[in-house]
Amino acid sequence: MRGDRRQTPRRWSGDWRALKSLLPYFWEFPLRVGLAVVFLVLAKVASVLIPVAMKHIVDSLDSTQAQLVAVPLAMVLFYGLLRFGTIVFGEIRDTIFGRVTERAMRRIGLKVFRHLHNLDLEFHLSRRTGGLARDIERGTNGIAFLMRFMLFNIVPTLLEIGLVVTILAFNFSLSYPLIVLVAIVLYVGFSVVVTEWRTQYVRRMNEMDNRSNTRAVDSLLNFETVKYFANEAYEAREYDDNLADWERARRQNRLSLAALNVGQALVVSGAMTLIMVLAATQVAAAEITLGDLVMINAYMMQLFIPLNFLGFVYREIKRALADIEHLFGLLGTRPQVFDAADAPELQVSSGHVQFQQVSFGYTPDRQILHQVSFDIPPGQKVAVVGPSGAGKSTIARLLFRFYDVDQGSISVDGQSLDSVTQHSLRRTIGVVPQDTVLFNNTIAYNIGYGRPEATDDEIREAARLAHLDGFIEQLPDGYDTQVGERGLKVSGGEKQRIAIARMLLKRPRILIFDEATSSLDSHAESAILKALDEVALNHTTLVIAHRLATVVDADRIMVLRDGRIVESGSHRQLLGQQGEYQRLWRLQQRDSALPAP
Ligand SMILES: Nc1ncnc2c1ncn2[C@@H]1O[C@H](COP(=O)(O)OP(=O)(O)OP(=O)(O)O)[C@@H](O)[C@H]1O
Ligand SMILES: [Mg+2]
């Protein structure tokens, strides 16, 4: 059934699957990854040696240990070098690895973008642009974060813990590594449990973030409408309601974060205090030197700071995984309209369009078209007229295969639409849609979009055919005039003519005009219709119109009502039938006193 066909976004059964899917991106630059690991190890070795240098400096300064106190200049210099080394090696590591993450972000960003363009129209009509943009942004950032931290924080922190525990175990009493290990287990256990509990708040915060953002974008897109109804205060209130939810979610998130941080601090300070008590007692009993105490203290600091970081990293990784899961969920969404495996290209010979017993509904519970059958013989012009909501534009959308039919079939030159590639079909068909939306760019760009490789002369020629040249000449910036967001800075009729021009530039075999001249005055309309008639000569054409006068010359006219073809024939035949068409014609003629042909 339609509507049930879309798979729900795939949930990643395990976080590991998300992690694993990132691995290929590491291998794009194996040399870089290898070098980064080398510098990672260098930085770690330097940092583990720092407390050792510390110990030797303190011991040689300690008068109880040595007879002769001298400044251990070489050791101090070594210490300085080590400190510098940890930072520099770390920087080099990050610089080298940066390229890998950036490339991965680029690859994934492109993949998502392509995927979004592959999804069907219905998905895009139902989505929320603001929320989608946020999801993508958060997802790609999550990927970058995960790649960096997987390699540079988790593995090295574990390495460091291992090194320090070994050093402590070999040099001092076993109590030290024992306390450290117990503290780490407590710390990690506590962090994991609390972080899991917090996830709900983080999710909720993101959700609220999406919702308020979507709301703001939608409100601003409807700027004009808001003004028409003087509803600024209402909009602000709605937005603020959303923001209030977001604020609440943030607060819960912050409070739970504070609880986590305090608990972690408690474990760390408890362990450090215990170790210091132990070390101080041993120094007092002359079992270890003062330098040893300093070294132990330094190791504790060195260990627990990255451990603290591990808590943060765990939290962030959970968040990144949630964001990535969202993004992959998006990538897992299957389009409802898709190419059959090994679908061939559409082979257009004459451009014969056939609808056979086509039934269709956007949702399973409401059927729009009922067994619609008609033919557009090669090179002929067929018009569809009828009341609003009858399903006229739906016929055009089906021919363009924005949706698949529920029953029956549509074919071009004998090839069913769902058996050929969408790309080859859409290349063949030119559409001037009922509501044209333009790119926020120049007029030349918008016309040239019909065929990106078109020359300036070709763009000018298309503009001339669409009777745009007079208008463009008046503009101070001419073809370089910006049309504004969605094309709102040009008039409705100008927008329609731009849409016609860019369709002409595409040079398709089959033409669809959906109320293509509805916003034009009669004078401009008849001029354009004449131009279009010349272009449409020998092209298979489907015209949808309200104003019957614009379609009287069609080879055949169909009257559509409630998704059924109720009358069909030439203008003359239909006038003779004394039916719906004749009634409509009379009505429109009386209104505009149009001459009958
Ligand atoms: N994406 C959609 N999801 C659900 N219903 C839709 C969708 N698009 C259109 N419809 C419904 O399908 C019916 C037919 O729409 P269609 O756009 O084909 O009408 P139309 O004949 O072109 O009307 P008009 O002359 O006003 O343009 C309408 O009742 C409309 O509400
Ligand atoms: Mg319509």
Residue 3: per-residue pLDDT: 38
Q: Does the beta carbon of 364 lie inside 6 Å of ligand 1?
A: no
Residue 5: per-residue pLDDT: 38
Whole-angstrom Cα distance, residue 377 to residue 396? 16
Residue 537: per-residue pLDDT: 79
Residue 330: per-residue pLDDT: 83
Whole-angstrom Cα distance, residue 423 to residue 48? 60
Task: CATH number of the domain at 364, please.
Answer: 3.40.50.300
The two structure tokens encoding residue 286? 């002359």
Same domain, 27 and 82: yes
In a domain, 52, yes or no: yes
Alpha helices in 222-231 (DSSP H): 223-228
Whole-angstrom Cα distance, residue 386 to residue 376? 18
Whole-angstrom Cα distance, residue 162 to residue 111? 40
Q: Does the beta carbon of 390 lie inside 6 Å of ligand 1?
A: yes
Which ligand minimizes its atom distance to the CA of 399? 1
| Total Cβ atoms within 10 A of residue 86 | 19
The residue whose CB lies within 8 Å of the most ligand 1 atoms, and thus the one to mutate among 126, 362, 513, is 362
In a domain, 536, yes or no: yes
Rounded to the nearest angstrom, the distance between the alpha carbon of 232 and the centre of ligand 2 is: 31
Nearest CA to ligand 1 atom 17: 393
Same domain, 371 and 433: yes
Contact 89, 46 (CB under 8 A): yes
pLDDT for 223-267, tens place per residue?
Answer: 889 999 899 999 999 999 999 999 998 999 899 989 988 998 899
| Total Cβ atoms within 10 A of residue 222 | 14
The residue whose CB lies within 8 Å of the most ligand 1 atoms, and thus the one to mutate among 368, 548, 566, is 368
Beta bridge partners of 407: 359
Model confidence band, residue 130 (pLDDT cutoffs 50, 70, 90): low
Beta bridge partners of 385: 559
What value, to the nearest 5°, has the Cα angle with vertex 378 and ends 374 and 384? 40
Cβ burial of 578 (10 Å; 0-12, 13-18, 19+) is exposed
CA nearest neighbour of 462 among 509, 508, 504: 504
Rounded to the nearest angstrom, the distance between the alpha carbon of 222 and the centre of ligand 1 is: 21
pLDDT at 9 over 50: no
| Residues bordering ligand 2, an ion, CB closer than 5 Å | 393, 434
* Single pTM value for the model: 0.74
Residue 274: per-residue pLDDT: 93
pLDDT at 150 over 50: yes
CA nearest neighbour of 403 among 119, 10, 7: 119
Whole-angstrom Cα distance, residue 80 to residue 86? 10
DSSP structure string for 281-308: HHHHTTSS-HHHHHHHHHHHHHHHHHHH
Same domain, 253 and 357: no
pLDDT for 548-586, tens place per residue?
Answer: 888 888 999 999 999 999 999 999 999 888 888 999 888
Whole-angstrom Cα distance, residue 579 to residue 564? 15
The two structure tokens encoding residue 513? 């005009």
Task: CATH number of the domain at 160, please.
Answer: 1.20.1560.10
Beta bridge partners of 558: 384, 568
How many residues are listed for the chain in this entry?
597
Closest ligand 1 atom number to CA of residue 363: 4
Same domain, 240 and 364: no
Whole-angstrom Cα distance, residue 357 to residue 359? 6
CA nearest neighbour of 117 among 499, 423, 409: 423
Rounded to the nearest angstrom, the distance between the alpha carbon of 131 and the centre of ligand 2 is: 28
The two structure tokens encoding residue 92? 């080099």
Model confidence band, residue 14 (pLDDT cutoffs 50, 70, 90): low
Same domain, 413 and 266: no
Last residue of a domain, one of 300, 332, 364: 332
In a domain, 497, yes or no: no
Q: Does the beta carbon of 336 lie inside 6 Å of ligand 1?
A: no
Nearest CA to ligand 1 atom 26: 388
Residue 525: per-residue pLDDT: 81
Same domain, 223 and 264: yes
Rounded average pLDDT over 489-516 = 89
The two structure tokens encoding residue 230? 């003087």
pLDDT for 429-484, tens place per residue?
Answer: 999 988 888 999 999 999 999 999 999 999 999 999 888 888 899 999 999 999 88
In a domain, 81, yes or no: yes
The two structure tokens encoding residue 358? 């086509």
The two structure tokens encoding residue 579? 């039916």
Higher local confidence (pLDDT), 392 or 326: 392
pLDDT for 368-416, tens place per residue?
Answer: 999 999 999 998 999 999 989 999 999 999 999 999 999 999 999 999 9
Q: Does the beta carbon of 126 lie inside 6 Å of ligand 1?
A: no
The residue with tokens 């008849």 is 526
Single-letter amino acid code for the residue at 451:
R
In a domain, 496, yes or no: no
Whole-angstrom Cα distance, residue 103 to residue 28? 9
The residue whose CB lies within 8 Å of the most ligand 1 atoms, and thus the one to mutate among 124, 384, 385, 392, is 392
Same domain, 157 and 88: yes
Residue 310: per-residue pLDDT: 67
Residue 593: per-residue pLDDT: 59
Contact 447, 462 (CB under 8 A): yes
DSSP structure string for 445-484: HHHHTTSTT--HHHHHHHHHHTT-HHHHHHSTTGGG-B--
pLDDT at 307 over 80: no
Rounded to the nearest angstrom, the distance between the alpha carbon of 488 and the centre of ligand 1 is: 23
Residue 361: per-residue pLDDT: 94
Rounded to the nearest angstrom, the distance between the alpha carbon of 392 and the centre of ligand 1 is: 8
| Total Cβ atoms within 10 A of residue 18 | 21
In a domain, 378, yes or no: yes
pLDDT for 270-280, tens place per residue?
Answer: 999 999 999 99
**Domain ranges, residue 572:** 353-438+486-491+502-592
Q: How many domains does the chain have?
A: 2
Residue 10: per-residue pLDDT: 38
In a domain, 455, yes or no: no
Q: Does the beta carbon of 219 lie inside 6 Å of ligand 1?
A: no
In a domain, 466, yes or no: no
Q: Does the beta carbon of 179 lie inside 6 Å of ligand 1?
A: no
Same domain, 412 and 295: no
The residue with tokens 């030797």 is 56
Same domain, 205 and 168: yes
Range with the largest mean pLDDT of 53-62, 299-308, 369-378: 369-378
The two structure tokens encoding residue 88? 């520099």
Same domain, 42 and 131: yes
Rounded average pLDDT over 27-52 = 87
Q: Which residues contact 584 (CB under 8 A, 6 or more apart)?
A: 385, 548, 559
3-class DSSP state for residue 544? strand
3-class DSSP state for residue 415? strand
Whole-angstrom Cα distance, residue 597 to residue 578? 17
Same domain, 80 and 185: yes
The two structure tokens encoding residue 486? 């969605």
Same domain, 302 and 379: no
pLDDT at 52 over 80: yes
Whole-angstrom Cα distance, residue 499 to residue 495? 6
